[in-house]
Amino acid sequence: MSQSPASAASVLRRTLDYIGVSTPARRIRRDPDRRGDYGITVAKLHGPEHEVGPLDAAENRRVLRIKLFGATGTILMLVGSLGTGQIPVLQNPVAGMRVLSLPSRMWSTALTLSIGGTIMLVVAWLLIGRFAVGRLSVEVLRGRSPARRMTRQQADRTLLLWIAPIIVAPPLLSKDIYSYLAQSAIAYRGMDPYTVSPLHGLGVGNVLTRSVPNLWRDTPAPYGPFFIWIGKGITAVTGDNITAAIFLHRLVALVGLALIVWALPRLARRCGVSPVAALWLGAMNPLVILHLVGGIHNEALMLGLMLVGIELCFRAIYGAQRLRTPGSWRPTGAGWLLLAGAAVIATSSLVKFTSVLALGFVGIALAQRWGACLPALRGAPIRQWWARSRTTVWALAASASLLGAVLAVVMVVICAGTGLGFGWTSTLSTGAVVRSWMSMPTLLSVSAGRVGVFLGLGDQTQAILDVVRPLGQFIAAVFVVRWMLATLAGRLHPLGALGVSMATVVVFFPFVQAWYLLWAVIPLAAWATRPWFRIATITVSAIIAIVVMPTSSNTSGVVLAQGLLAGVIMVAVMTALFFENWPRWRPRRRWSKHPTPEHTDTAA
């Protein structure tokens, strides 16, 4: 049954009222500046956290044990990765070595060490969270701040200790690094990596092509020119030496992680969130250690540059100094800081284009400084519309023009300066060949396709994907606009709205990998504090970190089950060794005829 025009208009008007763009006539007389209901639920993700003192001596001893437990796990992962890591097909650096090549000849043992080490790292991360966000049943579930937290220095040293063994490990859980190397070599040889694939540019027998997964051997590069330019420089230094190139790419990932560690606590403090809590949930997350550092993914550099750019922009926007000299177009110091931050965000989008979304929310923050607000855009009497919305329209236009100009200049400079051109704009959807179960549109499409095959209707999976994936992207765009409106109304902080938007993009993205979750988790770690967000993020991060195992296509179920069972047993044994006297981590005292109050309480 078709809807009548009147009912359709009623639905449209209620929708506009819901998002705060229009108001029914009966409400105009009451409150013409009513902001609508958008963003109310999402705004509840955030709550202020109080600064607390450092840990006491007993808690510091517990933290030390947890740190060593996690470091032991990453050492086991290092040993296991010599057999289960993504070692290159040619130029295996440990081949022929009597000791270091043992894990590759004892694959089941290496799998056990890798799984057990991963579980130990996750357990250590969960345990040390007690000293970052508090106890689950007391502080986290009730949205309270703990009585004491570990210091920023303790958090930094813990992260450094946990990633130290991973730095010298082979690539973990992914072979994307070999695509990076091949595409960089193509650019170094003067070819266009956005039109030439490793198979055609380097040849099937090339030492780099041999290690590229079959799925990516005949596809162009989907990454931005800034990242390919970095890889091109690495190729110029290392040539065809795969081991040296992997190490330098891991250093690039570590630079990205260092940028995250620098920016995340500052953004958290700006949002009224504990910097240590943000570091624990964001930078110390097992997905960061396993995938960004271990897997050497360029998301580390993308997120690091994006967060640094946001922090620089916020310093200028929320600072007291004017952005330009009165009576002149020349920027002040704060104005130059704003331009620099926008340029850094634009540069991050030339690693992976997703981070360009941050410029939209920075632009709204800038427009708000210039007087923009959503209530002025609401439906008032038509004769008053321009008078009510003039400031907002000009502020939004000026902000969009300024940041758009910065983005355009940075793109032209990098694309032309690196000689890689603008071909990357046509290869952004290259990853769509992957049918990832973590992508909701892809999962629904593949499931529907298999149902069709079961019913004898033929395999229509690709046709369904061609419809559902664009629909998912359209839905994501609608929600992102919604979060922008909520930010313009002042209900959401721009950083929190960016994190929620990134989460929306990940949910509806055509292809999703485990580390894509960090697009949303890391920005939200500096803003969202409420129990259900933190519990959900902790649960998903821990599960995904363990579920994504270092298996290959020919790993049998029996071998995987054996490795998992042995890994769990090993973790149980190591836990017993490390935490045998967990409840009694106080120095024992000799019996005294005059017991201290502490002894009296214990005896009672």
The predicted pLDDT at position 78 comes to 94
Residue 517: both structure tokens together = 């979750």
Half-sphere exposure of 468 (CA within 13 A, CB side): 24
Phi-psi group of 381: left, alpha or beta (phi > 0 → left; psi -120 to 50 → alpha; rest → beta): beta
Q: How far apart are CA 143 and CA 274, in angstroms?
A: 13
pLDDT value for 12: 60
Q: Which of 372, 323, 318, 351 is nearest to 488 (CA)?
A: 372
Residue 24: its pLDDT value, please?
A: 45
pLDDT of residue 10: 65
Which residue, 305, 307, 313, 370, is CA-closest to 340?
313
Write out the two tokens for 429.
Answer: 């959807």
Q: Which residues pair with 324 in a beta bridge?
A: 331
**Cβ(443)–Cβ(512) below 8 Å:** no
Strands (E), 206-271: none
CA distance 125 to 159: 10
Q: Tokens standing for 422?
A: 């603008």
Tokens of 258: 């260092």
Residue closest to 105 by CA, chosen among 89, 118, 94: 94
pLDDT along the chain (604 residues), means of 10: 58 55 45 57 73 85 92 94 87 78 83 93 94 82 83 93 94 91 93 90 88 87 93 92 94 96 94 92 95 94 96 92 83 91 96 94 93 66 73 90 95 93 85 78 86 81 86 91 88 91 91 90 92 90 90 76 89 86 50 41 35
pLDDT, position 461: 82
Q: Which among 463, 525, 484, 193 is positioned nearest to 363, based on CA atoms?
A: 484
Closest alpha carbon to 362 in 403, 415, 423: 403
Select from 550, 492, 407, 541 the least CA-distant residue to 36: 492
| Separation between Cα atoms, residue 219 and residue 194, nearest integer Å | 9
CA–CA separation, 270 and 311 (whole Å): 9
Interatomic CA distance for residues 449 and 454, integer angstroms: 9
* 213 neighbors 178 (Cβ within 8 angstroms): yes
Q: Is residue 139 within 8 Å of residue 533, measured between CB atoms?
A: no
Q: Are 295 and 515 in contact (CB under 8 A)?
A: yes
Q: Which residues contact 369 (CB under 8 A, 6 or more apart)?
A: 317, 318, 323
Single out the residue of 569, 566, 604, 374 nearest to residue 484, CA to CA: 374
Q: Among 299, 199, 295, 223, which residue's Cα sits nearest to residue 255?
A: 299
How far apart (Å, rounded) are the C-alpha atoms in residues 73 and 86? 19
Q: What's 146's DSSP letter?
A: P
**To the nearest 5 percent, what fractions of the chain are helix, strand and coil?**
65, 0, 35
Task: Specify the residue for token string 């289960």.
Answer: 84
CA atoms within 13 Å, Cβ hemisphere of 489: 24
Cβ-contact 268, 274 below 8 angstroms: yes
Question: Alpha carbon 530 to chain centroid distance?
Answer: 19
- The two structure tokens encoding residue 125: 């991360």
End-to-end alpha carbon distance in the chain: 75
3-state secondary structure of 66: helix
Q: What are the sequence ranges of the domains in the chain?
A: 49-170+550-580, 171-549
